[in-house]
Amino acid sequence: MKFLAVAMVVILAGCAAPSGDHGAHAHQPSQATVDHAAPAADTRVMVQFPEMLRTHTLANMRDHLLALAEIQDQLARGAYDKASDIAEQRLGMSSLGLHGAHDVAKFMPQGMQAAGTAMHRSASQFAIVAKDASVTGDLKGSLAALARVSQTCVACHAAYRIQ
């Protein structure tokens, strides 16, 4: 979030400058602002990915967030089966192929790999709980399992960065 705040400042500063004075960022308007926004007191481990994989990984990440939003929406509608399917296919063990996890994993330190595995496992566990809930209507259990998925996102984000 700090990073986003800094990025916004960079963007706003860019907009406020006289026209044509966008400096080094002008050549790549949508990407350039992410390059130099690391906060000074950032203790996360910087992990180097090849540029293609980095872009690909960040796109996956945005889909992870979208998947969480869709899961919450389906739970709110009582559509446990749909919530389960989204979790398994987009975040769970079934999503490993989809995300090219094998290619990315070899650039990750062990702890980051473990954090990724924890996310896929917890999502598959949520998928099972939500499937059961389609019979039992156990919303609380489903929400608790979903919270455990979110916690795995938080844990990795707290420890690692790729930009």
**Which residues make up the interface to ligand HEC (CB under 6 A)?**
3, 58, 61-62, 64-65, 68, 91, 112, 115-116, 119, 149, 152-153, 156-157, 160-163
User: How is residue 153 written in tokens?
Assistant: 């996102």
Tell the smallest beta-carbon distance from residue 18 to ligand HEC (Å): 29
Q: Which one, 10 or 61, has the nearer CB to ligand HEC?
A: 61
Neighbour tally for 83: CB within 10 Å = 27
Q: Which one, 50 or 137, has the nearer CB to ligand HEC?
A: 50
Q: Which one, 17 or 65, has the nearer CB to ligand HEC?
A: 65
**Structural contact between residues 126 and 148, judged by C-beta atoms closer than 8 angstroms:** yes
Please name which of 118, 120, 119, 140 lies closest in space to residue 129, comparing C-alpha atoms: 140
Give the Cα separation of 156 and 116 in Å (integer).
8
Tell the smallest beta-carbon distance from residue 21 to ligand HEC (Å): 26
Q: Which one, 72 or 136, has the nearer CB to ligand HEC?
A: 72
Which residue in the block uniquely carries the two structure tokens 């869709």? Answer: 70
Give the Cα separation of 38 and 6 in Å (integer).
8
Tell the smallest beta-carbon distance from residue 35 to ligand HEC (Å): 11
Tell the smallest beta-carbon distance from residue 152 to ligand HEC (Å): 5
What are phi and psi for residue 38, nearest 5 degrees? -65, 125
